[in-house]
Amino acid sequence: MIDTRLHKYPLLIIAGMVLTISGFSQAPVFHAPLLLDTSGSAKTTTDTVLRIRNLNPYFTLHVDSTLAYNLEINKNPTNYFWYLKNSPPGMRINKDNGLLTFKADHSFFLSGKLKYDYPYKINVGVQNLNDPSEKTDTSFTIVFFTTEIVPSHLKPSVQNPLFIDEGDTVSFRLECETGSFPIEDISFFSNIPIRNYTTVKKCDDEFTWSPSFDFVKETDSAKQRLVQLSFVGINKFFIKDTTVVRIYVRDALNYPVMLDEYNKTTKAVSTYILQLKYSFVQLDKQVKNNKTTRTSFDMTTAGTALGGTICSSSASVGAQTAGKILPSAGVALVPVKETVSPPKTAEQNSASLIRSSIKRLEYLKAENSLMGQKDLDIVKKTNKLKDELRQTEIQLIDVPIDENNNMTEEQLNEYFNSKKVDKKYRLKSKKS
């Protein structure tokens, strides 16, 4: 039996059927809510608040495709106009009917006006032409994608490979060729451990490194060492791009340390020269005093012999007797001379040897002086001075060196370079 009470509400039954059918439809159908009055009949409420009925909050659009979407409101569109804010280049909306159109042209992305996979938030609104207070503002998001992926690449700002010396500084910028998805993080590693370098984390960071003077080992071939620097860039999808910079580090001279070594060597040579000069002065004085003593004996002997000769020719008998005695007295002085003042042959030879050694060291010191601010032959010159100093010390190992001298450097140089000393020890050529 059919319930007769349903005949009282035919409008309610029809509305329920419509709502049931619309629940299975893909396109939503909007209807005003239904209410029952006191008499039991349905009535429709008035929709007074301005709103957009079919706004899609999120759009994804392929490159070179076209978007056409008609926005609708719940009121008569003839009295309203549409507008956009923060819209990307090329997006438009019909101010009369709310038709949203956009063509994602590929040129926008090539020129950099638009980006892939970037959410663009766009403000859209509609306003009453007669009543400015009646309006509504909302927003939606649009993202562009493409199936043509342009990879991003790392690119160092230097040519590959690099050749540097120990102690030098290598510095270059790590640039990025941005493709569809930019590189967001950069990691770094090398084939051998290095120190004192700047960390690179993102594009356009600068890498700086200075190898120490002991970086190249003796076992490395060709006196150089290869360092491979690998930089790995990663985008947000963990797609990697790797670039490798090869650096050949050549063995170089630690000039500040070597300069200090050279200065120490020259100072040691100068000190040893002064010690030799003082020893030379002492030996030369001994030879000089001995020579003076022997000359006095020789003059006395010669005077005695001459006096004897004179007395022998005298008419006086006593004088003749004295003339016979005096030569014998002169002969007797000869062994006394040898006993009192023997020849200083060893001292004479030692003084000559010391003087020649001093001359040679002074010549080598002047010959191996540094030229310019950075003499590349500093190692060779330092080793030369060391070798000569060692050989001289071995050659004069028996010569007593007195470090506590009572003469200044000026006094030693004045004595050593005097004309008398130079004439005394100068070699003389035999005349034919």
Give me the mean pLDDT over the 366-376 stretch: 83
User: To the nearest whole percent, how much of the chain has pLDDT over 90?
Assistant: 23
Query: Across 303-312, 397-406, 410-419, which has the greatest mean pLDDT?
Result: 410-419
Check if the beta carbon of residue 225 is closer than 8 Å to that of residue 215.
Answer: yes
From residue 129, how far is each of 110, 134, 136, 217 by CA, in Å? 40, 9, 13, 85
Report the pLDDT value the prediction gives residue 248, as an integer from 0 to 100. Answer: 93
Report the pLDDT value the prediction gives residue 229, as an integer from 0 to 100. Answer: 94
Supply the pTM of this predicted model. 0.46
Distance in angstroms (rounded) separating the CA atoms of residues 78 and 128? 9
Residue 431 has pLDDT above 50, yes or no: yes
- Cis before 119? omega within 30: no
Report the pLDDT value the prediction gives residue 347, as an integer from 0 to 100. Answer: 65
Residue 337 has pLDDT above 60, yes or no: no
Give me the mean pLDDT over the 116-127 stretch: 91
Residue 4 has pLDDT above 50, yes or no: no
- Cβ-in-10-Å burial (0-12, 13-18, 19+) of 214 comes to exposed
Report the pLDDT value the prediction gives residue 321, as an integer from 0 to 100. Answer: 62
Residue 354 has pLDDT above 60, yes or no: yes
Lowest mean pLDDT among 5-14, 31-40, 68-77, 200-209: 5-14
Give me the mean pLDDT over the 359-387 stretch: 86
pLDDT-derived band at 190 (thresholds 50, 70, 90) equals: very high
Report the pLDDT value the prediction gives residue 154, as an integer from 0 to 100. Answer: 92
**Tokens representing residue 309 in the block:** 């000769």
Check if the beta carbon of residue 143 is closer than 8 Å to that of residue 117.
Answer: yes
pLDDT-derived band at 24 (thresholds 50, 70, 90) equals: very low
How does the average pLDDT of the chain come out, rounded?
77
pLDDT-derived band at 258 (thresholds 50, 70, 90) equals: confident
Sign of CA dihedral 326, 331, 335, 340: positive
**Tokens representing residue 304 in the block:** 């005695």
pLDDT, one tens digit per residue, over 68-104 is: 999 998 888 888 999 999 888 889 999 999 999 999 8
pLDDT, one tens digit per residue, over 262-285 is: 899 988 888 888 888 887 777 766
Give me the mean pLDDT over the 160-185 stretch: 89
Query: Across 244-248, 316-320, 329-333, which has the greatest mean pLDDT?
Result: 244-248
User: To the nearest whole percent, how much of the chain has pLDDT over 70?
Assistant: 70
pLDDT-derived band at 47 (thresholds 50, 70, 90) equals: low
- Residue (of 140, 66, 127, 141) closest to 96 by Cα position: 127
Domains of the chain (ranges plus CATH)?
A: 6-46 (no CATH), 50-148 (2.60.40.10), 153-252 (2.60.40.10), 256-306+341-425 (no CATH)
Check if the beta carbon of residue 40 is closer than 8 Å to that of residue 5.
Answer: no
Report the pLDDT value the prediction gives residue 317, as an integer from 0 to 100. Answer: 56
First to last CA, the chain: 169
Report the pLDDT value the prediction gives residue 181, as an integer from 0 to 100. Answer: 83
Check if the beta carbon of residue 206 is closer than 8 Å to that of residue 198.
Answer: yes
Report the pLDDT value the prediction gives residue 179, as an integer from 0 to 100. Answer: 81
Neighbours of 291 (CB within 10 A): 15
Lowest mean pLDDT among 36-45, 111-120, 174-183, 229-238: 36-45
Give me the mean pLDDT over the 39-49 stretch: 62
Residue 341 has pLDDT above 70, yes or no: no
